[in-house]
A and B are shown apart, each in its own frame.
Chain A
Amino acid sequence: MDRKQYCVKLSVQPSRGLVDEKFIVLVQNVSPGFQMTIHALHKCEDGHSYEAFAHYTANATGTVNVSEDPSLGGTYSGVEQMGLLWSLRPVPGSKPGLRLRKVNVQTPMEVTISVYQGHQTEGFMDQVPLVGVLVERWYMAPRVRRIPITENGLTATLFLPSGLGPFPGLLDLWGGEGKLIEYRAALLASHGIACLTLDYLTPEITMETGKMVDSQYIETAYRVLEQHPQVLGSRIAMLGLSLGASVTLKMAVYSQVMKLRCVVCISGSHVQPIDGFLEELLNFCRINSETKTRINEEDQVIYHDLLLPIPTDPALKVDVGRLQCPLLLVVGEDDQNWPAYESAIDMKEMMEKAGNSHLLTVLSYPNAGHLIEPPYTPHTRATAFLSVTSVKKVMALWGGETVAHSRAQEDAWRKTLAFLRENLYGSSNCGF
C-alpha cells in the first residue's frame, strides 16, 4: 500500500457555513513541491453533478492554503479563496443549459472537497482521492423560520429571522420564469431581515384562472408584511431581479399603499407601459420579441434589444423622477438578456433632471451578465429558459464572463446588504 496516502490532511473551515460565508481550504502534511488537484463535487437535488478543480503545488512547509496560494490551472486560476464554489460547472457529459439552484432551502447544499495527486483535469470519478471532506452550505441560519403564505390569494413564503424581533421587512421578486424561488429570501432572513418572496407570475390564482395578477396582489403581499407582528411596518424594502425589478419600480413609484424605505433592482429596467400592469408589460415584451429577439451562432437567444431603444415617450417608462426613497441599481454591463445598463443610464438622467438623483446608487459591473445572484453561485453564460411568455424552452444567453461575474456577485451582495442595513436600520426617514 502506498503509505503516503494517509499523510495528507485536508480541512475546510467552517465545515457548516451560510452560502455567502467564506471558507478556508487547507491542505497540510505533503512534501514541499507536491503537486495536487483540489476538487469540489456537488450533486444537485435534480440529480445533476457539478464539479470544480484547481491545480496547486505545495510550498516549502508542505502546505496549500487556497486563500493564499495561486491555482496554476483548472476551472479557475490565481488566488481564489472561493473558486471551488463559483467555478462549479456541470460534469462532462451533462445535458446542456443546466442551472444550479437550490429548491429545498431547509437542507444544506453538500459539497465534497477532495485532494487528488498530481495536476489532473478529468476522470476524477474513476479514482480514489487522497483525502476528502464534506462541507455543508446553508441558505438558512439556525432557527430562521419558513412560513408558507397562502392567505388572500397569495402564493408566497415568509422567512423570519431567528429571535424575537421585530425585524425590518423585504419583499423579494424574481424574474420572467415565474415560480416561487426561496433561496435569496432565506439568506436575507439569515441576515436579520424578515423576507417575503412572492410568486407573481405563476401563482395559484393565475394557474387556476388563467389571468395575470394586478398591482393589488403586490400590495396585498406588502400588507401581509406590514401587519405581521414581528415586522416593523415602517421599515420595508423591496428587491426585484429582471422582470421583478420592473414590477418593483412600478410599485415603488406609483403605489399609494406601499411606503418603501428603499428599493433594490438587479438587472432591471424601468421601460414598460405605465398604464396597466403585468398583462400589459408581458404583451409589450411579446410584441417586441417578434422583431427584436436575436439568435447567435450557438443558437442562444438574446432578448437584450426587446426594450431598446430606451423610449423617450414618458408613457413607456416608470417615472423614477418621482421616486422618494433610496434606489440601488445593480447591473452587469455584459447583460445579454435585458438592457439593464442602458436603462440605468437613462434612469440616472431622469433622476438628475427631476432633482432626486441623490437617492440613486448604481453598481455597474463590466463583463458581468444578467443573473447576478448571491455570492459563489456558479455562473452560467446561457441556460435553458422557459419564460411565461413563450411556449417552448430556449437557450437564453445571460452573458458575463465567469471570473468578472463572480466578483460582481460577491461585491454586489456585500453592498446590497450594507445598503439594506443602512436604510432599514438607520433612523433617517423615508423621503426628504
Chain B
Amino acid sequence: MIGTDSHFLNTSQNHHQVNVCSTVPAACGQRDALQTPRLSTMSQTVPPVLSVHPSRSLVDEKLKVLVENLPPGSPVTLHSLHRSEDEHYWEAYGHYVSDHRGIVSVAEDSSVGGTYTGIESMGLLWSMRPVPGSRKGLRLRKMNVRSPMLFNISVYNGLITEGFREQTPLASALIERWYMAPGVQRIDIREKGVRGTLFIPPGPGPFPGLLDMWGGGGGLLEYRSSLLASRGFASFALEYFNSGELESAELEFSYFENAFSIVKDHPQVIPDKIGIFGLSLGSIMTVYLAAESTIVKPLCCVCVSASHFYPPGKNLHGVYEVMTMKPHMIRVDENGHHAWRDMGLEIIKEPSYRINVEKINCPMLLVNGLDDQNWPSVECADEIAQIMSAAGKGDLVTRLHYPDTGHLIEPPFSPHFRATKFKTATGKQKVILLWGGQTKPHSDAQEDSWRKILSFLQHHLYSRETPKARM
C-alpha cells in the first residue's frame, strides 16, 4: 500500500522524516522541514511520485498536479520554474500538507502559503513572478509559438520560501504548455504592404476569421492568434509598427483595411464571418474600423482595455503626437512607475478625438479592468456603452469589467504584471509603466474573460443555421 507503511506512519507530532535521497547523500544536505526532526532511515527509499496531467496541454487548459507516496501529514512545497526565451527565470510555489494517505492534490487541497493560497488548481502558473535578483519590470511573453513553454514542476520537503535552486527536490516533472494545437498552420504574410502572421485551424475549413491587434508596444505578437486558431478561428496577428517605434509609424487607415481584406480573401476563411480583436491601442483601431470603414464590415468585435479616441484624419503617427502632448500629466508613483491614466483622462476630454461609435453596427464585447492604471479604459467603455444606448444600439454592447484587474488582460494562466518595462514612443527611453491590478483578481479576470470571449466569438462567428439535407 502506498504511503502507509509503518516506517512512515507516526500520528504524533514528532513524526519521522525520511531521508529520501539516501543514494546521493551529499546532494541532500539538511533541509529545513518545519519543526520536524529528521531521521535517516532505510537506504534506497523511493521518492514521492509527482504527476502532472496532462503533461502536454494548450495554455488555456487546466492541469491536475498530484503528489503521492509522501509520509502522511508531511509539509511540502510545490514549485514551478520556467526559463523564458529571453533567459529570465520565473517561479511560483505553494505550501501544502499531505493527507493521511500521503497525498497532495493541488486541485483539491488548499495552499497555506507561497505565491498563492487557497484551492488554486492553476496557481503554480498564474502566480509566477521573476525569481529574486531578476531585473525589474520583466514581462513573460512567448514569441516563438511553434515550440511549447516548458515548466519544471517540483515538490520539495518542508515549507520553503527561497533558495529553491540550491536544494534537491523530492521529485520533479516537466510539462509542455502550447500556444498552438497540432495541425494549426502558421503563414507569414507580406502582402499589399501588410505584415503579420496568419494562423489557420486544422481541418478542411473554411473557417471564420479574426483580425488580431495588440497595443502600443508594437512588434509582432503571435501567441493570441495561434491560440485563437487552436480554438477554431483563422486569426491574423497584425504587425503595425515595429517594437517601440510608434513615433515613426506612418500607417494610414488603409493599412488596416488591407489587413482585413487579406483575411477575408484567404481561401480558407469564410468572407462574411470575420471579427476584429483588439487590445489597448489595437482596440482603438478596432473601434475606428468598425465605425468608420466603408470597406471593413466585421461581424463582431472584441475590445480589451478599449479606447474610442482617435485624432481625426491622422495616421497612427497622429496618435503618438496626441499621446505625448501632455506628459506633465503622467503620474509617477512611489516606485517610479508611470501611470498614464490621468493623462489619458485629460486627452479623451477633447470631443474632436471621439470616434463616432454610434455608427457601429455589429456586436461588441468590451473587457475592462477596474484598476487599469494605464488608460481610463473603463471610462471609455462607459461612454461607448452610453453612446450606443442613446443611438438605440445598446443591445449590441456587452461589457465585462473586473475589480482589481489591470490593463493587460491576456489569455488565462499567464502571470500578471502590475508594471513592466516599456519602450515609450518618446524615443529610446525605457520606463516602467504601471498597468494595474492585483495578481489573484487579475488572474481570475483573465480566466473568466477568455472563456467568455471564446463563447462570444463562437456565438457570432459560428452561429448555427439549420442544415439543409444534402442529397
Contacts and interface: CB of A to CB of B under 8 A. Distances in A.
Interface of A: 2-7, 9-10, 13-18, 21, 29-31, 34, 62, 110, 112, 114, 117-118, 128-136, 138, 141-143, 162-166, 168, 190, 192, 229, 232-235, 421-422, 424-428
Contact of A16 (B24, B42, B178): B178
B44 A232 contact: yes
B49 A235 contact: no
Contact of A6 (B169, B173, B207): B207
30 contacts: A2-B470, A4-B465, A6-B208, A7-B462, A7-B463, A7-B465, A10-B203, A16-B54, A18-B55, A21-B54, A30-B464, A31-B464, A62-B464, A112-B183, A129-B204, A133-B182, A133-B183, A135-B182, A136-B56, A136-B182, A141-B174, A164-B168, A164-B169, A165-B47, A190-B55, A229-B24, A232-B44, A234-B44, A425-B69, A427-B7
B204 A168 contact: no
A421 B1 CA distance: 9
Measured as residues with beta carbon below 8 angstroms from the partner, the interface class of chain B is: 35 or more
A21 B52 CA distance: 13
A388 to B, nearest CB: 36
Contacts, number: 139
B2 A422 contact: yes
Nearest to A421: B2
A163 B173 contact: yes
A6 B206 contact: yes
B132 interface: no
Interface string B188-220: 000000000000001111111000000000000
A13 B182 CA distance: 12
Contacts of A135: 182
Nearest to B5: A427
Nearest to A142: B174
Contacts of B462: 6-7, 9, 29
Nearest to B178: A16
A30 B183 CA distance: 23
SS class, residues of chain B in contact with chain A: loop
Contacts of A130: 204
B97 interface: no
Nearest to B169: A164
B181 A133 contact: yes
Contacts of A131: 203-204
A132 B464 contact: no
Contacts of B130: none
Contacts of B150: 142
A15 B181 contact: yes
Give the interface centre of B55, B58, B168 by most chain A CB atoms within 10 Å.
Answer: B55
A424 B467 contact: no
B202 A134 contact: yes
Contacts of A235: 44, 46
Nearest to A34: B467
B23 interface: yes
Given A235-B46, A424-B46, A426-B5, A14 B464 contact: no
B250 interface: no
A134 B207 CA distance: 16
B182 A163 contact: no
Interface in B1-55: 1-2, 5, 7-8, 23-24, 42, 44-47, 49-51, 53-55
Interface in B64-118: 69
Nearest to B45: A427
B259 interface: no
Contacts of B51: 192
Contacts of B467: 4, 7, 30-31, 34
Contacts of A190: 55
B49 A192 contact: yes
B73 to A, nearest CB: 17
A117 B470 contact: yes
A13 B57 CA distance: 9
Contacts of B2: 421-422, 425-426
A135 B230 CA distance: 12
B61 interface: yes
A15 B1 contact: no
Contact of A14 (B61, B207, B465): B61
B317 interface: no
A34 to B, nearest CB: 7
Nearest to A162: B174
Contacts of B232: 9
A141 B173 CA distance: 9
Contacts of B54: 14, 16-17, 21
Given A6-B270, A163-B174, A424-B46, 4 more contacts: A15-B230, A21-B54, A142-B55, A166-B24
Contacts of B465: 3-4, 7
B328 interface: no
